[in-house]
Amino acid sequence: MDLTINNENGAAVARLRGEIDHHTAKKLRTELDKYIINFRPPALAMDMSGITFMDSSGIGLILGRSKLLKECGGSLEIRGAQPYIRRVLKLSGIGRIVRIS
């Protein structure tokens, strides 16, 4: 699991690579929250194009970050998810809370 967060023209982009499960979500949660609390980005995009696996632990991870961002005055976007990850996203109904592009 690999995470890099960059500020690209004023917008924060978190690039995730690898597999998201209960085991890897813990570390991602800590790193993303550190960034959100320190930088309070008005918008954060999680780029999932490098994610090769995600189960429902990923839904918890996305929801938790979305909530924290909102508390910090920002909003979350999910982009680049592969088809099999989109199926988990769709099943969860998370698209009603977070923008998926």
Partner 1 sequence: MKVINEIKFIMPSLSVNESAARAVVSSFLIQADLTVEELSDIRTAVSEAVTNAVVHGYRGSSGKIELTVKLLEGREIYIRVKDSGCGITDIKQAMEPLFTTAPEEERSGLGFSVMESFTDKLAVRSKPGKGTVVTMRKRLRVHGS
Binding residues among 54-93 for partner 1 as defined by CB under 8 A: 54-57, 59-61, 63-64, 83-84, 87-88, 91-92
Question: Residue 46 CB, nearest distance to partner 1 (Å)?
Answer: 15
Beta strand 11-20 with 2-8: parallel, antiparallel or unpaired?
Answer: antiparallel
Q: At its nearest, how many Å lie between partner 1 and the CB of residue 61?
A: 7
98 binds partner 1 (CB under 8 A): no
Cβ(20)–Cβ(53) below 8 Å: yes
Part in contact with partner 1 (CB under 8 A); list of ranges 3-11, 19-27, 32-40, 72-80: 19-27
Burial 12-39 (b: 16+ CB within 10 A, else e): bbbbbeeebbeebbeebbeebeebbeee
- Smallest distance, partner 1 to C-beta of residue 7, A: 26
Per-residue tokens: 83: 């088809």
